[in-house]
Structure 1
Amino acid sequence: MADVLHILLPREETGQSYFSHGGKRGLSISVVFTSLATIFVTARIYTRTRLMKRMEPNDWMILIALTFSYVFMGFFIVESLNGMGMHGADIPPPVMLKQMKAFWLTIPFYNAALLCAKASILMQYFRVFPTKRMRVVCWVLIGVLATYGSWAVLSAFLNCIPVAKFWNPTLPGYCINQKGLWFSNASMHIFTDLAILIIPIPALHALELPKRQKIALISIFALGGF
């Protein structure tokens, strides 16, 4: 493994590595959770295709989400190997340029992966909670996801005009208030996360089950908050 990293790490002629401790930590966490997602989605698709003999729309949507997460992961690796987590003053301009280009590419695929995963959960609710009220609520949330999701992905690609100004601020042009953009997108992600967690609780509460089983079932759904 060390030999492989020695080949992959970006180095200047001095032999300096820009794979920082912060980059290693961030990359390790991403690799672990992407691997777990792959295992769970593979098990899900195996169950659908081999045992149930059919794929539902929510299964295709989670596959799309996983594909976007792989693309995100590829660019995140490049970002990590080029000084992510280091102080900007300690990174040579050519290395910083690679990092910022990779960072620019991670943002839309990160948003797309999250949005597709949330849409998959809402589509799953159609089957688990087949009531008219639940379907209306889910469709409203899917509409919210589609609206703000389109903005999140489009603004990630075009938050600077020309786009090269994102990684080269000295160029003439214009950039959206990036901090405001990221906070607004984060707020919408948190809002939709909470909504997806909350909307099945009334239906679960109405089930005619012993209290302990009902609490256990609600707790299982609440695990999605993590």
Structure 2
Amino acid sequence: MEAKSKSPPAGEWNGWPWDFSKYPHDDFGPQLNYGIWVLTAVAGGFLGLRIYCKKIRRRRLWWDDHVLIASWVALVAQTSLITFNTTLGYGKHIWDFHPKDLSLFLLISNTSGFFSILAAMLSKTSFAITVLRISQDRIRYIVWFIIISVIATLGFAALSTYIQCTPVEKLWNPLMKKGHCWPKELVIDYNIFTAAYSGAMDIILALLPWKIILSLTLNKKERIGVLLAMSMGVLYVYPPCG
């Protein structure tokens, strides 16, 4: 700890003009890869079970299924890009990250962020379409509003990943003297708004099925099971608010 509080001595280390040989060299890349691929596999497992159940019951896939598949594909793309970034030094200390890899790292990070937002947008849209199939009257208008507004807010958040700088190359080459980017405060504030709005829509989508299911003719066990299953979306509120 004492070594980190002092300036490193002059020298050379992994492309840096200082000697970091006595500094810690932890690498959390393997743990990161393990965690994200396990979660991606679990999500894929649930998706596979959903498709399998429809196939054995000879039911065709509907729009919500196709949108959910697209969401998982975007998730796989995001996970793959994060894994690639670990080969550049993601998960290590800054002094173990070679400066020449900075531009590529930022490019991959921005692309990964794009797919992350895309996956979230599509997964919410998929569930909203499912709710839309069983909703009637005014609830349908509410669900349509959620679908359109979520696509608009998250879609712009994903698009802003690339349009916030002119030229776009400045995104992954911040040392460029020419060009300009949106104020960081603006980007941060919009991302906070998007996260809050996304979380609010998760809560509403989790609660809407209650009104619908309670009006159906089901026995108590079936009603409780369906309500719990369709309300699991509320658990997704926490990630965007973090």
Tell me the TM-score range normalised by the shorter chain: 0.7 to 0.9
Match of 2:68 in 1: 62
Q: TM-score with structure 2 length normalisation?
A: 0.75
- Structure label with greater radius of gyration: 2
What does 1:56-205 align with in structure 2 at a 5 Å threshold? 56-127=62-133, 129-171=134-176, 172-176=178-182, 177=184, 178-205=187-214
Does the 8 A contact of 1:20 with 1:84 survive in 2?
no
> Cα distance, 1:135 vs. partner?
1.6
Structure 1 segments of 4+ aligned residues over 4 angstroms from their partners: 205-217
Partner of 2:46: 40
Q: Give CA-to-partner distance per residue, 1:96-155, whole Å, 9 cap, x none.
A: 33321210111111111111111110111123x232222211111111112113211210
Per the TM alignment, residue 223 of structure 1 is displaced from its structure 2 partner at its CA by 2.6
Q: Which amino acid aligns with 1:166?
A: L
Task: Please tell me the residue identity of whatever aligns with 1:40.
Answer: F
Deviation at 1:174, TM superposition (A): 1.7
Given that 1:204 and 1:214 are in contact with CA atoms closer than 8 Å, whether structure 2 keeps it comes out as: yes
Q: What is the match of residue 18 of structure 2?
A: none
CA-CA distance at 1:208 after TM superposition = 5.9
Q: CA deviation at 1:161?
A: 1.6
* Percent pairwise identity: 21
Distance (Å, rounded) in 2 between the aligned partners of 1:147 and 1:20: 41
117-126 or 155-164, which deviates more? 155-164
1:79 touches 1:102 (CA, 8 Å); kept in 2?
yes
Distance 2:32 2:103 in 1: 19
Structure 1 partner of 2:5: none
Structure 1 residue 77: Cα displacement: 0.9
Q: For residue 78 of structure 1, what is the amino acid of its counterpart?
A: F
2:205–2:233 contact (8 Å) kept in structure 1: no
Name structure 2 gaps, 5 residues minimum. Answer: 1-13, 16-20, 236-242
Kept in 2: contact 1:205–1:214 (CA 8 A): yes
| Stretch moving more, 177-186 or 118-127 | 177-186
Q: How many residues align?
A: 210
TM-score for both structures, normalised by structure 1: 0.80
Q: Which amino acid aligns with 2:203?
A: L
RMSD of aligned Cα (Å): 2.7
Cα drift, residue 90 of structure 1:
4.1
Q: Which moved more, 1:148-157 or 1:207-216?
A: 207-216
State the one-letter code of the partner of 1:197.
A
In 2, are the aligned partners of 1:83 and 1:96 still within 8 Å (CA)? Answer: no
